[in-house]
Amino acid sequence: MALAEQMLLEIQSESLQTLLTVVQQKTANLAGATAIRSLDLYLSTGSPSGYQESVQKPPGNAIVIRGPPGSGKTHLLYFLLATCVLPVNHLSCYIGGWNKAAFIMDLDGHFHMSRFHDILVDRLRQILPAPSISSLVDQCLKIVHVFRPTSSAQLAVTLKHLAKYHTQNLSSFELGMIAVHSIDASHWLERFKAEQLRSSSSTANTPFESIYSDLRKLRISYGLTTVVTHWGLLHQYLGANDNHLQPPSTLHLDSERSIGAHKLPEIPKAHFFLVW
């Protein structure tokens, strides 16, 4: 009896959600998943530098988009989200979407549903007859939910409750994408607060480790794609000797580099893209 119990303890267990996610990822036909040919080629073959790496096609990737204001980060995000919520087929026409729900964390208020609506219409206009576009776009918009946290702390709390929110509000749709738009929107305010805490010899409890940890858990649990956009403001201060304010570790997005003694947890299978 004791031996049998010991053998049972040695058997690793996993949730049904995890099992179904793995099966789906192994069997799904995800060719051309983002509908951006160069991006799909990169995700399926490795980095453009020639280093070949086995990476999983979406859903299941972590994508980070960096660029200055006006460089097209939001427009690229619109396109990726459109691919997520559009159906695979409609009226015997191939659309190429995922037919999945999407959640957007809009930290700078620049994500506009009216603009997203126009992008959906423009994309479908090339495929479907005009009379059928409006109803399909309305269906797609219903599975896009936008949250507007005003700080990193609010973002962290929102992410912790997303699984419950999905169950209560969109349980009939699989969750395909979580996007965090302008994750460093509160850069200056949080940087100032971190400096104030250092001056008072207090330990700054930053929410970013929790944010990345929760994004990773959601990505693995649901098999979804996470997209993070940011300005890259922090990079101009790395190594700057004439600035007495030190950049806080909370705003560092690159898991391969560290600031001082702090380092954010690594984001496995993360793909970084710079837009101009």
Instruction: Say which CATH number the domain at 68 has.
Output: 3.40.50.300
Average confidence (pLDDT) over 125-144: 95
Which residue in the block uniquely carries the two structure tokens 């980070």? 64
Tell whether 15 is covered by a domain. no
Tell whether 11 is covered by a domain. no
Average confidence (pLDDT) over 201-214: 71
Tell whether 101 is covered by a domain. yes
Could you give the C-alpha distances from 56 to 87, 263, 267, 269, in angstroms and in order? 21, 25, 14, 8
Tell whether 99 is covered by a domain. yes
Pairwise CA distance, residues 20 & 43, whole Å: 22
pLDDT at 32 > cutoff 60 = no
The residue among 176 and 200 whose pLDDT is bigger is 176
The encoded tokens of residue 199 equal: 């001056």
Tell whether 224 is covered by a domain. yes
Tell whether 22 is covered by a domain. no
pLDDT at 251 > cutoff 70 = no
pLDDT at 172 > cutoff 50 = yes
Domain total of the chain: 1
The answer to whether residues 83 and 35 touch, using CB atoms and an 8 Å cutoff, is yes
The pLDDT score that the predictor gives to residue 71 is 83
Average confidence (pLDDT) over 243-271: 37
Nearest to 81 by CA among 68, 69, 65, 70: 65
Tell whether 27 is covered by a domain. no
The pLDDT score that the predictor gives to residue 204 is 52
141 is in which domain, residue-wise? 58-231
Average confidence (pLDDT) over 206-235: 83
The pLDDT score that the predictor gives to residue 152 is 87
The answer to whether residues 155 and 215 touch, using CB atoms and an 8 Å cutoff, is no
What confidence tier does 239 reach under pLDDT thresholds 50, 70, 90? very low
Tell whether 26 is covered by a domain. no
Could you give the C-alpha distances from 183 to 47, 85, 135, 187, 250, in angstroms and in order? 24, 22, 33, 9, 10
Q: What is the pLDDT of residues 72-105, one digit of tens each?
A: 889 999 999 999 999 999 999 999 999 999 999 9
**φ and ψ at 116, to 5 degrees?**
-65, -40
pLDDT at 21 > cutoff 50 = yes
The answer to whether residues 44 and 207 touch, using CB atoms and an 8 Å cutoff, is no
Query: Which residues, 6 or more positions from 273, have their beta carbon under 8 angstroms from its beta carbon?
Result: 39, 63, 64, 65, 66
